[in-house]
Amino acid sequence: MAPPRNRAQDAHKGKGKGHTSREGPNGRALLADPLSNKGVAFTQEERERYGLVGVLPPAVLSLELQARRAWEQLGAQGDDLAKNVYLEQLHDRNEVLYYRLLCDHLPELLPIVYDPTVGEAIKRYSHEYRRPRGVYLSIDRPQDVRPAFQALGLGPDDVDLVVATDAEQLLGIGDWGVGGMQISVGKLAVYTAAAGIHPGRAVPVMLDVGTGNQALLNDPLYVGNRHNRVRGEAYDSFVAAFVEAVGELFPHALLHWEDFGPGNGRRILQQYGEKIRTFNDDMQGTGAITLACVMNAARVTGTPMRDQRIVVFGAGTAGVGIADQLRDAMVRDGLDREEATRRIWCVDRQGLLRQSTEGLRDYQQPYARPDDEWPPDRPADLPSVVDRAQPTVLVGTSTQHGAFTEDVVRSMARHVDRPVVLPLSNPTEKIEAMPEDVLRWTGGKALVATGIPVPPVELDGTTYVIGQANNALLYPGLGLGAVVARADRITDGMLQAAAEAVAGLADLSQPGAALLPEVENLRASSAVVATAVARRAAEEDVARARLDDVIQQVQDAMWQPEYG
Ligand SMILES: NC(=O)c1ccc[n+]([C@@H]2O[C@H](COP(=O)([O-])OP(=O)(O)OC[C@H]3O[C@@H](n4cnc5c(N)ncnc54)[C@H](O)[C@@H]3O)[C@@H](O)[C@H]2O)c1
Ligand SMILES: O=C(O)C[C@H](O)C(=O)O
Ligand SMILES: [Mg+2]
The string of DSSP codes covering 228-292 is PPP-THHHHHHHHHHHHHHHHH-TT-EEEEES--HHHHHHHHHHHTTTSSEEEIIIIIHHHHHHH
Q: Cα(8)–Cα(39) distance, rounded to whole angstroms?
A: 11
Q: Cα(516)–Cα(526) distance, rounded to whole angstroms?
A: 13
pTM, two decimals, is: 0.94
Q: Answer whether 383's CB lies under 8 Å from 351's CB.
A: no
Whole-number pLDDT of residue 471: 96
Question: For the chain, how big is the Rg over CA atoms in Å?
Answer: 24
Which residue type sits at 538?
A
Alpha helices in 442-563 (DSSP H): 475-485, 492-504, 522-539, 550-557
Q: Cα(369)–Cα(541) distance, rounded to whole angstroms?
A: 37
Whole-number pLDDT of residue 25: 86
Q: DSSP of 334-401, one letter per residue?
A: T--HHHHHHTEEEEETTEE-BTT-TT--TTTGGGPBPTTTS-TTS--SHHHHHHHH--SEEEE-S--T
Whole-number pLDDT of residue 22: 32
In angstroms, what is the span from residue 378 Cα to ligand 3's centroid? 34
Q: Which phi and psi angles does 310 have, rounded to 5°?
A: -125, 125
Tell me which DSSP letter residue 427 carries.
S
Neighbours of 21 (CB within 10 A): 12
- Residue nearest atom 3 in ligand 2 by C-alpha distance: 115
Name the 3-class secondary structure at 163. Answer: strand
Any ligand 2 atom below 6 A from CB of 184 = no
Whole-number pLDDT of residue 16: 31
In angstroms, what is the span from residue 424 Cα to ligand 2's centroid? 9
Any ligand 2 atom below 6 A from CB of 399 = no
Q: For residue 66, give the nearest of 44, 99, 88 by alpha carbon.
A: 99
Q: What is the ipTM of this complex?
A: 0.97
In angstroms, what is the span from residue 479 Cα to ligand 3's centroid? 15
Q: Answer whether 324's CB lies under 8 Å from 397's CB.
A: no
Q: Give the active site residues.
A: 114, 187
**Tens of pLDDT, residue by residue, the chain (564 residues):** 444 444 444 433 333 333 333 367 899 999 999 999 999 999 999 999 999 999 999 999 999 999 999 999 999 999 999 999 999 999 999 999 999 999 999 999 999 999 999 999 999 999 999 999 999 999 999 999 999 999 999 999 999 999 999 999 999 999 999 999 999 999 999 999 999 999 999 999 999 999 999 999 999 999 999 999 999 999 999 999 999 999 999 999 999 999 999 999 999 999 999 999 999 999 999 999 999 999 999 999 999 999 999 999 999 999 999 999 999 999 999 999 999 999 999 999 999 999 999 999 999 999 999 999 998 789 999 999 999 999 999 999 999 999 999 999 999 999 999 999 999 999 999 999 999 999 999 999 999 999 999 999 999 999 999 999 999 999 999 999 999 999 999 999 999 999 999 999 999 999 999 999 999 999 999 999 999 999 999 999 999 999 999 999 999 999 999 998
Q: Answer whether 466's CB lies under 8 Å from 457's CB.
A: yes
- Residue nearest atom 22 in ligand 1 by C-alpha distance: 316
Q: Cα(471)–Cα(243) distance, rounded to whole angstroms?
A: 23
In DSSP terms, 422 is beta-bridged to: 395
Neighbours of 279 (CB within 10 A): 25
Any ligand 1 atom below 6 A from CB of 305 = no
Any ligand 1 atom below 6 A from CB of 266 = no
Whole-number pLDDT of residue 24: 76
Any ligand 1 atom below 6 A from CB of 396 = no
276: exposed, middle or buried (Cβ count in 10 Å: 0-12, 13-18, 19+): middle
Q: Which residues contact 283 (CB under 8 A, 6 or more apart)?
A: 265, 266, 269, 317, 318, 320, 321, 324
- Residue nearest atom 32 in ligand 1 by C-alpha distance: 349
Name the 3-class secondary structure at 453. Answer: coil
- Nearest listed ligand to the Cα of residue 165: 3
Q: 327 to each of 290, 310, 314, 317, 385, how far by Cα in Å? A: 12, 10, 16, 16, 19
In angstroms, what is the span from residue 172 Cα to ligand 1's centroid? 6
CA dihedral 310, 327, 369, 373 (to 10 degrees): -70
Tell me which DSSP letter residue 418 carries.
S
Whole-number pLDDT of residue 2: 43
